[in-house]
Structure 1
Amino acid sequence: TALEINACYDRLDLNDNNSRRAKDFGVKLAIGSDSHSLGMLKYLKLGVAVARRGWLEKKDVLNTYPLTKILKRKNV
């Protein structure tokens, strides 16, 4: 199970405080842009900022994992 930091500026479903709390409970997170066009990919920067404010580290964010680690996590 993982939670998503939705980086679209008008959504931000999981803020920095809740991201930190999830980390404290050992929950992994993913940063999503909610992109519906190429131009919306820029919102990933906002998601990264939320993760940083929540004190998330590379090990806490699934998007930073190499593909082999993600597949292993899914038992594929």
Structure 2
Amino acid sequence: MTARICRALENPHVRILAHPTGRLLGSREPYDVDLEQVFAAAKRHGKAIEINGSPWRLDLNDVHARRARDLGLPVTIDTDTHYLDELENMALGVATARRAWIGPERVVNALPLDRLLGWARGGR
């Protein structure tokens, strides 16, 4: 699985790795993946890693999010929302980022619009 994810990160159309461990709390274990290799590939190719705020995922956890921060990786904080009332999941994603000491300057979807659009077009 590690090699597959790293290959996907080479694709210029991929900007964000979502569901980085694939876990579903209480029902599916994380992928058998070497996050150090995945993070290295993301860094090499200028990709962001998702912090998913869904209470069923919480993927990345705070320890992995801190490692991503230490490596200088940008992150996104997302809700995994399928229904309007799930937008409140953002609070859980933000809490994970705070526990990992990730400030807003590292959160792609907290950037000013011009910087966000530049990043989305392939900037770093």
TM-score (norm 2): 0.59
Larger radius of gyration: 2
**Structure 1: tracts of 5 or more residues without a match:** none
Q: Residue type matched to 1:37 in 2?
A: Y
Higher relative contact order (CA closer than 8 Å, sequence separation 6+)? 1
CA RMSD, 1 decimal: 1.2
In the TM superposition, what are the counterparts of 1:21-60 in structure 2 within 5 Å? 21-60=67-106
Q: Measure, in 2, the Cα distance between the counterparts of 1:42 and 1:71.
A: 25
* Residue aligned with 1:3, SS: strand
Identity, in percent, stands at: 43
Per-residue deviation, 1:12: 1.1
Aligned to 2:65: 19
| Residue 74 (str. 1) matches residue 116 (str. 2) | no
* Residue aligned with 1:48, SS: helix
Per-residue deviation, 1:74: 3.1
**Structure 2: tracts of 5 or more residues without a match:** 1-46
Per-residue deviation, 1:58: 1.0
Question: Which structure features the higher share of strand residues?
Answer: 1
Per-residue deviation, 1:75: 3.5
Q: Residue type matched to 2:100 in 1?
A: G
